[in-house]
Amino acid sequence: MLKGVTHFVTNLPWQAAFDVLISTVIIYYVIMLIKGTRAVQLAWGLVLLFLFARIADWVEFRTLSLLLGTIATPGATVAIVILFYPELRHALEEVGRGRFWAMRGLMLRREDVSAVVDELIETAQRLSQRRFGALMVIERDDGLDDIATTGTALGATVTPRLLETIFYPGTPLHDGAVIIRGNEVIAAECVLPLSDNSRISSSLHTRHRAALGLAETTDAAVLVVSEETGNISLAYDGRLLTALRPEVARDKLLSLLQRDESLEGRRGNDPGSAGGKGAGSATPKEEAIPEPPEVAGVAAVSALEEPRTLRGMLYSGLRRARGLFGIGNRVSGLRSLFRGEPSD
């Protein structure tokens, strides 16, 4: 067998070897360019489409094969250009700068989850008492590098004093959102996509719409502090919970971050670590969250409960199909096609 392999390698044309080498390098750099962005989720959707087309052709489902083949061949090219437009533009900019090797930082470790959540909730309480508006984005599985590039890079450890300084009115970075990866603030003054959900109360303005907009297009969790009322809100998975008590917000955020670990087992295997202590016992239900009179009826807004438009049904179906096949959390990047840009 070894002789056969040696014979194959020694008689391999140099053109073929060079071809394989170049193709490998290109594929590697493409993966590096989309890693840490929402393009990864869209890429999984296209991979599934091609996979289903090949399976249908193999088992001789002719009608399904014809349908999927029609979509997967000419339609895929158009879909890639449309769906990946922001990522393609970002990738070309990275190519121009020669930054192929940029890598994402480490995600939250299990033992650090509780400590980071406590820091964020303490910050939210302080800002709420002083009526300082804030947007704090906690990255989960979906990379937010493309969002982080809209702001100012920081790379500082999460502390209440740092976040209070950032959101103090009049400071250069107080407008926009901070992006938190693990226990590090990677960027501030970031621009988030606005939600177009028509069910949001008119009493909720740009800050809440931006939080819900990001929660609709990624799996990030977003803490919001209202500048007008001081209310603490939490956006996640296309939902917006408003007027939360600090302890309720803490339990919900903690359960979200620890749920990621229990489902995927990627960030630690110690069930007795500090992050897991009492996390699941106080997880609130949306309907049980008290609402003040001024925001009654808007404590829970779900993107999947919006009117059954073609876009809404397509998005809902793709998310459920993604979860059914276990590929990831959700195919959420499609909504980036319809996002707006928040105004100051």
**What integer pLDDT is reported at residue 341 of this predicted model?**
39
The pLDDT value given to residue 36: 61
Residue 272, SS3? Answer: coil
What is the 8-class DSSP label of residue 137?
A: E
Distance of CA 58 to the CA centre of its chain: 35
Whole-number mean pLDDT of the chain? 71
Q: Binning pLDDT at 50, 70 and 90, where does residue 50 land?
A: confident
**Using 50, 70 and 90 to split pLDDT, how confident is the model at 308?**
very low
Find the mean pLDDT for residues 104-133: 81
Query: In whole angstroms, what is the distance from residue 167 CA to residue 164 CA?
Result: 5
Q: What is the pLDDT of residue 284?
A: 37
Per-residue pLDDT, averaged over 164-186, amounts to: 93
Q: Tell me the pTM.
A: 0.54
pLDDT of 159 strictly over 70: yes
For 160, 252, 272, 344, the CA distances from 111, given in Å and listed in that order, are 19, 17, 9, 37
Give me the pLDDT at residue 324, please. Answer: 38
* CA atoms of 310 and 322, how far apart (whole Å): 18
pLDDT tens profile 264-298: 444 344 433 333 333 333 333 333 333 333 333 33
Q: Give domain limits for the chain.
A: 2-97, 110-338
User: Count of alpha carbons within 13 Å of 12, Cβ hemisphere only?
Assistant: 14
Q: What is the pLDDT of residue 285?
A: 35
Q: What architecture does CATH give domain 110-338? A: 3-Layer(aba) Sandwich (3.40)
